[in-house]
Structure formats: C-alpha cells, structure tokens
Chains A and B, each alone.
Chain A
Amino acid sequence: MNEWKPRIVGFLCNWCSYGAADLAGVSRMQYPPNVRVIRIPCTGRMSPKFILAAFMKGADGVWISGCHPGDCHYMEGNYYARRKFALFKNLIEYMGIEPGRLHFSWISSAESTKFASVVNEVTSAVKALGPREHFIKTMPRVA
C-alpha cells in the first residue's frame, strides 16, 4: 500500500485522445490509474504555462496528446503545437528536467489500444525516474 505512485497530468485533445480514453474505458481496457486528465479543445490551445504550472504544483510527469498530423479538427492546430512542443521540450530538458518527465503523443479517437499502451509507457517512464525533486515551489505562499 505504501508504494509511491506517480502523479501525471495528461492534457488530452477533446477531438481525439479524450475520445480514445472513452473508448478504452467502454472497452474495459486495463491501464494504470496515475494520469489525471485535463480536457483541452486542441493541442494548439496548449500554453507552455500549463506545463510549467503542472510541474510547479507537484506533478511528477506531464503528458500531452492530440490528433495525428493532418487530422486536426481545426485543420492545423497540431502542426503549430508540434513546433511549440519541440522547442519547449528541448528548453526544459536543457534546464535540467529529466527526459522522461514530459511526453507527447498522437492518438486518434479510434486508437484505444494505443491509448492504453501510451499510458503504460508514460507511467512506467515516470515511475522509473521516481518522485520529482526540482521545480516544486517550497517557500510558503504569501497571500
């Protein structure tokens, strides 16, 4: 019971990965329960501030998932997101967050098996790294 459980924040696109989570659910697939899902309208809506906020408030890992390139509900949101994420991931790892804390994937709403396997992959990667020690605000909050 005392085993450490990672806290992972998952930002899932409403039009695909969130649907895949639904499908995985109704298909009774088993996957680790460590991901807290936040539904976003499109990966293009993701702001780097969201990821940093998740980390600052104590998430051990962050996972962002959206539609395959070419399948975006808004035509090109995920193409823009891809460039943002590439630069973001490189910069945050450059500053000392371990690779393996931040994950990205493309999962369509039909790919429930991929959904379950990516959750497995993300959870085990974060588990392997252990609790995150950096980027957590420790000083008392002053109102």
Chain B
Amino acid sequence: MSEYLSKIKEISERLLKEEKVEIIIGFRKGTVPMMNEPCFAKTPEQVKELVWDSNCGINLANYLTDRKEKIGIIAKGCDSRNIVTHIIENKIKREQLFIIGVSCKGMIDKNKITSMFENEINEVSEDEENIIVKGEGFEKTLNKNDVLQENCKICVHRNPVIYDELAADLLVEQKDVDRYEDVRKIEAMAPEDKWNYFDDILSDCIRCYACRNACPLCYCPTCFVDESRPQWVGKSIDPVDTRTFHFLRAYHCAGRCTDCGACERACPMGIKVRTFTKKLGKDCLELYGWEAGLSLDERPPLDTYRPDDPEDFIK
C-alpha cells in the first residue's frame, strides 16, 4: 500500500506543478478510524494530505459531476467505471480528466469490524494481509480477506478500465466468482417470502438518503423523492413509502450501477441496499449482455434497443 501512496503522491505533485490539472481528487485521513474522506488538493503542498489504504471505499466519481476545471482523479476499478458512466452521460468530458489508475485489492467493511468489538475503536492500521485494530484495552489482528466489503469480495473489475497513468501494476482479476448467488436465492422464494424478506431488510431505514447522496449515479437536479407536484413517493417512513423509495432508487441505477458499494457503505443503519441494484445488474447482464462502465463507445441498455430483445413476458 505504501508504494501505491508514494506513486500517487508523485504523480499528483507533478500534475499540479506542471499545471496539467487544477485540482487532484483523492482521499485523506478522516477524523475517525476507517472513514477516509475525499480530498481536493489544489496546490502541490496539499498533496501531502493524500492517503491510500483499505478505507477508500467512497466513490470519487461522485465529485466530478458538472465540474468545469481540469481534474486529476484517483480511480480504483469501480471509480473508473463510474467515470466512464459519467462521460457517457455527459456529466464530465474525457479531456478534462487525468485519471490516475489504482488497481484495488478491496476495501474493508467498517460496519463488520465495528460490530466485532464492544468498545470504541481508536486506531486501525494495516499491512499487506492484516488489519490491526486498536482500542481502549484491546488490540486484535484481523485477516483482511475476512473483513472485506461484500461487493469487493465478488469484484471482477479491480483494475481501472480507463486511466492515463497507473500508480501500481495491474492485478490479476478474480475468476470463478459467483456474483449473484444471493440474488438467485431471493428469486427462488415464494412471493410472500420475498415480500417479508424485504420488509425485514428495510425495517430499519430512516430515509436519510445517504445511499442516494453517496451514489455517483444520483445527480438529478430534482430527485424524485423531493418532487412534490406530483408527489410520487411519500415522505413518511410508512413501510410502503420506504419500499417505493428503495425500488425507484434502484431502478434509476438500472444498467448504470457498477456495484461499487458506496450506498451500502454510507448507510448508517447497515441496510443491504445493494440487494436491489444487484438484481438489475444481473438482469442487464443476462438480458442485454451489459455491464456498466466498461466502454466509452457503447450506449447504456436503457438508451438503446435491439429489434430482437427478449419479450416472452409480453402477450
């Protein structure tokens, strides 16, 4: 990780000094452990703040929307796919970007780690394979692979898909990963069980919209949840309203979601919101052979059609 970081700093500093970019978007240490926050470095001195470790789960593409300046951005696999989506959707121009690609070894799940300990965690450090957690009166070493975010475990695009310079060698992608095991399990349930399953998942939702705000795909000037004439989604925490919100949020991401896990990471209640978006990801792959954010030349699935698309559900 440290060689990643020195390379990231070196490239960033050079870009800012040579005035190739006006701003570098990366990560810096947050105020609490395991919560790195986005960093916007505008001078070569600020580059010192940059960090790179296993807590960089935020999707930085979220901070590109409609920016006008020349930007250097640090992009792991999922970030780069969301950058592609942003370019396709005219939210940023490719020429504006200098993408510093970082192949990603997975980010750690802070909820999982927090739930393992009763006391507050004061410090989290890491080496190649282990995460060392320290707090008041305890210290424990965890295997990184055991505490990865769920989406990182099944990730098959760890390397950036577009980049101008790499900060680390490309990794070998994971093969033979069953990405949709959980989705298939739900699909096999009876309708009543499905309904109860989702009622259960969503019962904790407090409608804070953190999942929406963390998502790089959500940039509508007026979000459907804020619309009031007509009001499509009620604003209460009535279970039906909550479910409608999650349904539409997921549906808005159809064919665009890269399964970066930013939504789930942002959820303060630990709701598995990826359960919804993954189903759409699976359908897009199975029906239209589409995975989001892999190519600049292809239109997303809901923006195009083929005359022979599947239609066995239509009378």
Residues in chain A within 8 A of chain B (CB atoms): 48-49, 52-53, 56, 69-70, 76, 79-80, 82-99, 103-106, 118, 121, 134-139, 142
Chain A residue with minimal CB distance to B238? Answer: A139
The yes or no answer to B4 lying at the interface (CB within 8 A) is no
A104 near B314 with CB under 8 A, answer yes
Whole-angstrom CA separation of A85 from B250 in the bound complex: 14
The 9 closest A-B pairs by CB, nearest first: A96-B195, A79-B305, A96-B194, A105-B315, A139-B238, A49-B232, A104-B314, A98-B191, A137-B240
Whole-angstrom CA separation of A82 from B194 in the bound complex: 25
The yes or no answer to B164 lying at the interface (CB within 8 A) is no
The yes or no answer to B18 lying at the interface (CB within 8 A) is no
Whole-angstrom CA separation of A7 from B57 in the bound complex: 47
9 A–B contacts, CB within 8 A, in A order: A52-B232, A79-B307, A85-B314, A91-B279, A91-B283, A94-B194, A95-B194, A95-B195, A137-B241
CB < 8 Å: which of A49, A137, A142 contacts B248? A49
The yes or no answer to B234 lying at the interface (CB within 8 A) is yes
Given contacts A94-B187, A137-B241, contact A76 B305 (CB under 8 A): yes
Residues in chain B within 8 A of chain A (CB atoms): 183, 186-187, 191-198, 224, 232, 234, 236, 238, 240-241, 243-244, 247-248, 250-251, 254-255, 276, 279-280, 283-284, 287-288, 301-302, 305, 307, 309-311, 313-315
B315 near A137 with CB under 8 A, answer no
A83 near B301 with CB under 8 A, answer yes
Whole-angstrom CA separation of A92 from B246 in the bound complex: 11
Contacts of A134 in B (CB 8 A): 195
Nearest Cβ on chain A to B206's Cβ, whole angstroms: 16
Contacts of B314 in A (CB 8 A): 82, 85, 104-106
Chain B residue with minimal CB distance to A70? Answer: B307
Whole-angstrom CA separation of A70 from B305 in the bound complex: 12
Given contacts A56-B244, A90-B279, contact A48 B238 (CB under 8 A): no
A56 near B240 with CB under 8 A, answer yes
Interface-central residue, B186, B198, B238, B247, by most chain A CB under 10 Å:
B247
Whole-angstrom CA separation of A105 from B313 in the bound complex: 8
Whole-angstrom CA separation of A83 from B247 in the bound complex: 17
A92 near B247 with CB under 8 A, answer yes
Whole-angstrom CA separation of A139 from B235 in the bound complex: 12
A83 near B315 with CB under 8 A, answer no
Given contacts A94-B279, A106-B314, A137-B241, contact A83 B198 (CB under 8 A): no
B192 near A96 with CB under 8 A, answer yes
CB < 8 Å: which of A83, A91, A104 contacts B250? A91
Contacts of B287 in A (CB 8 A): 83, 86-87
Whole-angstrom CA separation of A90 from B279 in the bound complex: 8
CB < 8 Å: which of B236, B244, B280, B301 contacts A142? B236
Nearest Cβ on chain A to B253's Cβ, whole angstroms: 11
Chain A residue with minimal CB distance to B241? Answer: A137
Contacts of A118 in B (CB 8 A): 315
Whole-angstrom CA separation of A137 from B196 in the bound complex: 16
Chain A residue with minimal CB distance to B199? Answer: A96
Whole-angstrom CA separation of A87 from B277 in the bound complex: 11
